[in-house]
Amino acid sequence: MVPLHYYLVLSGILFACGVTGFLIKRNIITIFMSIELMLNGVNLSFVAFAAHWHALSGQVFVFFVMVVAAAEAAVGLAIIIAVYRTRETLNVDKVNLLKL
Amino acid sequence: MLHLTLFLVFGAVCLAGAINLLVQRHPINSALSLVAVMAALAGEYLLLGAEFVGAVQVIVYAGAIMVLFVFVIMLLNAGEEERTRGSHIALLIGVPGMLTGSLLIAWVLLHHSGTEAVGIGALPGPPKALAQLLFHDFLLPFEVTSILILIAILGSVVLAAKPEPSQEKEN
Amino acid sequence: MTSEANLHLSWIPLLALTGATVNGFFGKRFSRSLVAAVALAFCGAAFVWALVVVSRFSFLPEPVYSEPFAQWIQISGFHVEFAFFLDHLSLIMLLVVTGVGFLIHIYSVGYMWDDPSFYRFFTYLNLFMFFMLTLVLANNYLQMFIGWEGVGLASYLLIGFWFTKDSAASAGKKAFIVNRIGDFGFLIALFLIIQHFGSLNFTQVFDAAGRLPMETAGAGTMTAVGLLLMVGAAGKSAQIPLYVWLPDAMEGPTPVSALIHAATMVTAGVYMVSRSHVIFERAPMALTVVAIIGTVTALFAATIGITQTDIKKVLAYSTVSQLGYMFIACGVGAFSAGIFHLMTHAFFKGLLFLGAGSVIHAVGGEQDMRKMGGLRSKIPWTFWTVTVGTIAIAGIPPFAGFFSKDEILWKAYQNNWVYWFVGLVTAFITSFYMFRMWFLTFFGEYKGDADRHDSHGNDHGHGHGHGGVHESPMVMLVPLMILAILSIIGGWVGIGGRFEHFLAPVFQTGVEAAHEVEPHSSMEEILMLVSVAVAVCGLALAWLLYVKKPQLPKQIAEGMGSLYRAVFNKYYVDEFYARLLVKPLLLGSTNILWKGVDQGVIDAALDGSATGANEVSDSIRHMQSGNLRSYAGWIAAGAAAVIVYMIWVGTR
């Protein structure tokens, strides 16, 4: 029998790794993947709570999260392709023209 | 006991994959470790009894989204990451902030939780039950998400389309 | 004290105000004749109505008449209203102001005819009449103060009439500021009166004051009030130490000098002191101070007048001196004598100033007497009228000045022979310098150059086409003639004490029945002869120095050396004030108020806030660096902050 908070701590660690990746990585695609990691961590949290409280809607919500993640991944990668075409680089530090 | 062992195994794989994603320099390696994370998470879901969610995780997330990622990495021929000094703020403020937040949450979780245990396969999630919920209580969000997907398709097609030859000449 | 009949006193000042308003708003578009007609019509109407009022007033049962106009301040326990008041004292002032004022209006039409700001002059002149009449006809101190300030304003506007000239603008400022100092004293006196009597109404205050005992120790509220009122009067009537504005006020056009600085405005101080005689009679120390100030000023100004070369400056110092006489009279308690002299002074000083204006007009703008001379054959009318004025001011019977001046000297002698003696010496000096002016201007050889070409003197608008010394037009001469006649017969109303008797209802409410009308005592007759002799001596000395032996004055001046220079430079009083008061004030103003407060605090605050906003935004704008990772960092930090907050709230 696994206590609930084990799942939650794991979920938290995954989320923290996602945030760290977002902060320290320079390749835009890797940053995107960190976002997916964050979303996964949250999904785990949802499912764990659903099991704890016996509420199935937690799992339904996971669906929606996945749908949104998919849509976002698709559009985001399309943008990355467009940016790569014009700027010839995937280094996020080089794409910094939008400044004051 | 078995439950705990399995949980720890899958958890270890998750963590290893997550940390590997951070550590690797080439994005393809990061993508593959993310696939590993997702697979392990599917295992976790099964442990919690969410069978349909676990299956969908593998099919959609690991099978479609990550494939898309790998595809784009190969299309763009992304190489190893360069070392550029980007931002002081991210390292100086962001990381400590993130650490603070996480540690606080961890402390709360560990401090305030009791010994409630989640049994193995605690809440079965067969497709039938989920479908009941999805198409009755959550019908509207369901339809909205389908529109969302449509928009995403349109958007990505437009954004990623190759520019017209005439436009390229102008550029 | 309201009577049944309604004399419509309010019409008199309001007519003048209407004239000012019409000319002020529309005068620019009127033709010159129309402007003059409007101004003269309204001023003349005021004068005519004043005559009507006077005739009707004599039929009233009581010698006082009060006409309420409107309510003003109504706080519990303190009321002030706009109301008009007439008794014998204000009756005399009313006639003098409207009468002499009207004559000077007529004169100004001729004098200012060539001036481009013709309508502005008459606007201000009518405005002045309005304020002066408000002052004279007021029935409470506050309304009098309105008129007081208003005439100060009109004086500023008219002295600085040719404001493009630096000296004129400065003179206007000086007059206003020095007046203000006096007004401050006046205001404090008003506050004391309110505190002590709870009202500013003349009848109420004087009734209450009449019941007070005499303050002999020289300390007390009435003394304080009296001294402060005297400060105000010293400012307005140009006594020591606040007389310095009057000689500079000669920068204004000559009719202004005649009306404001000879006949009416400067007499407001004397009027105010006479009106407050009840208060002064309760404070003998204040009265002594008044007399001393008057005496010293009279002598002081007369000595300066000996050496002046500008014809208007001589008359200005003469005015200061004669005002000193009026204050001597008030100071010894002979208020009616002071008012008598006020009236005759208005006639002959107005005449002298208008005559001087006529002379200046004749020689094309020159005001320096050393460049005049021999004008008696060229401008005979002016000559004869100015002669009448000179004889009147010297105090030679039977002209007007003799009667009033002698009355003052007699009353002064009865109080303290020192006042009489100084007054006598001043009379000698007055006679001397007035006849000096007369000789220098009209006798001898003409030393000027108006005959050769048009001299553009310091008088605006007098470089008109006709060269040569010429007589003034009729419109300027008729007022001169009328004033000359008044200067001759004006004193005769005082013979046998009739003037004093006339003013008895006003001044008899004093503590003691002041000087009763005595029959001619032998002492009085002796003194009369002495003063006449003194006046004639002055004439003789002037004749000696300026006709018989014209080289003597220069020798005497050189012989006296530094004393002469001191007198010629007006005893350096202006320089003294400048060093003592003006310079520190300007320094303080520049360094503390301008650079310190205005620039350093106010401007710096505004500029600083603008610069600060600039700098803050400048430093913040670097947040938008276009760098994705720093955005992410901020997001993470912000999220952490929110989490911390929520945990903190959740675990409380």
ipTM (interface pTM):
0.91
Query: Does the distance separating the beta carbons of C636 and A93 come in below 8 Å?
Result: no
B-proximal residues of C, 607-636, CB under 8 Å: 625, 627, 629-630, 632-636
Q: Which residues of chain B are within 8 Å of residue C640 when distances are taken between CB atoms?
A: 97-98, 100-101, 104
The helix (H) or strand (E) run that includes residue C73 is strand C64-75
Name the residue among C223, C222, C224 with its Cα closest to residue C210.
Answer: C222
Instruction: Confirm if C355 and C389 have CB atoms less than 8 A apart.
Output: yes
B22, A25: Cβ pair inside 8 Å? yes
Instruction: Name residue C83's beta-bridge partners.
Output: C68
Chain A: give the shortest CA distance to residue C614, in Å. Answer: 14
CA atoms of C482 and C104, how far apart (whole Å): 11
Chain B positions in Cβ-Cβ contact with residue A48 (cut-off 8 Å): 48, 118
Q: Which pLDDT score is estimated for C461? A: 45
CB-CB: which of A23, A31, A100 is closest to C621? Answer: A100
CA pair distance C83, C93, nearest whole angstrom: 17
Q: Pick from C629, C635, C637: which is nearest to B86 by CB?
A: C629
Which chains reach chain C with 3 or more Cβ–Cβ distances below 8 angstroms? A, B
Cβ contact B145–A67 (<8 Å) = yes
Tell me the per-residue pLDDT of B97-147, one tens digit each, with 9 for 90 and over: 888 888 888 888 887 776 677 777 777 878 888 898 889 999 999 999 999
Q: What structural domains does chain B harbor? A: 1-80 (1.20.120.1200)
Contacts of B88 in chain C (CB under 8 A): 630
Residue partners of C60: CB distance under 8 A and separation at least 6: C3, C5
CB spacing of B123 vs A56 below 8 angstroms: yes
Q: Is the pTM of this model over 0.80?
A: no
Largest CA distance in chain C: 117
Contact B93 C637 (CB under 8 A): yes
pLDDT at C454: 46
pLDDT on residue C518: 53
User: Which helix H or strand E contains A69, and what residues bound it?
Assistant: helix A57-87
Q: Do C641 and B89 make contact, defined as CB atoms within 8 angstroms?
A: no
Q: In B, which residues are within 8 Å of C632 by CB distance?
A: 90, 94
Determine the average pLDDT of the residues in C608-614. 91
**Residue B167 above 90 pLDDT?**
no
A29 vs B115: CB contact, 8 Å cut-off?
no
Which residues of C fall within a CB distance of 8 Å from A100? 621-622, 624-625
Say if residue B29's pLDDT is above 60: yes
Q: What is the pLDDT of residue B64?
A: 93
pLDDT classification of C156: cutoffs 50, 70, 90: very high
**B83/chain C closest Cα distance in angstroms:** 14
Whether C628 and A97 lie within 8 Å, measured CB to CB: no
- For A4-94, CATH number out of 2.40.30.170, 1.10.287.3510, 1.10.486.10, 3.40.250.10 equals 1.10.287.3510
Least confident of C153-162, C212-221, C389-398, C414-423: C212-221
Nearest CA in chain B to C625: B87
> In this complex, is the C-beta atom of C629 within 8 Å of any C-beta atom belonging to chain A?
yes
Distance in Å, alpha carbon of C624 to nearest chain B alpha carbon: 12
Q: Which residues in chain A are closer than 8 Å to C621, comparing Cβ atoms?
A: 100
Which residues neighbour B135 within 8 Å (Cβ) at sequence distance 6 or greater? B142
Q: What mean pLDDT value characterizes chain C? A: 85
pLDDT at C459: 47
Q: ∠ CA(C348), CA(C351), CA(C357), 5° rounding?
A: 145
- All residues at 6 or more sequence positions from C112 whose CB lies less than 8 Å from its CB, including other chains: C118, C121, C253, C255, C461
- How confident is residue C451, by pLDDT bands cut at 50, 70 and 90? low
Hey, how many other C-beta atoms are within 10 angstroms of the C-beta on C14? 17
When pLDDT is cut at 50, 70 and 90, the band that residue C369 belongs to is: confident
Look at A23 and C633 and tell me if their CB atoms are within 8 Å.
yes
How many contacts (CB atoms, under 8 Å) link A and C?
32
The answer, for A95 touching chain C at a CB cutoff of 8 Å, is yes
Give pLDDT < 50 ranges for chain A: none
